[in-house]
Amino acid sequence: MIIQFLLLLLIAGVCGAIGQAIGGYSHGGCLVSIALGFIGALLGTWLAGKLGLPEILALPVGGWRFPIVWSIIGAALFVALINLISRRRV
C-alpha cells in the first residue's frame, strides 16, 4: 500500500516536472511538481473526455490507472494558464 502510494507520487512528480518544462514554469520543487502532476491528470482527463479522445497511456498503480499523457498535457496547460495570469506587468 505504501509502496504503491509512493510510486503514484513519483509518477505524478515526473509528469508534473515535464509539464512544467513544457509550460515554461520553473519555480517550486518536488511538491509543486507532484501537485501539478495530479492537477494535470484531473484537467487532462476532463479535457480528453470533453473532446472524446481516448486514454493514450495509463499506468496501473494500486488499482488506479494514472493517465501519463493527459497528466503531462494538463499540467502544461495549467502552468501556461498560471503564467498568463501571474505575469508581471511592466
CB 15 within 8 A of CB 56: no
Task: Tell me if 74 sits within 8 A of 47, measured CB to CB.
Answer: yes
In angstroms, the CA 66 to CA 62 distance is 10
Say what the pTM is: 0.84
| Per-residue pLDDT in tens (0 to 9) along the chain, 90 residues | 788 888 888 988 999 899 888 887 777 788 888 898 889 889 999 999 999 999 888 888 878 888 899 999 999 998 888 888 887 665
Is residue 25 within 8 Å of residue 42, measured between CB atoms? no
Is the Cα torsion angle 41, 44, 48, 49 positive or negative in sign?
Answer: positive
Q: What pairs with residue 67 in β-bridges?
A: 58
In this predicted structure, what is the pLDDT of residue 88?
65
Please report the pLDDT score of residue 90 as a whole number: 56
Sequence ranges of the domains in the chain: 2-86
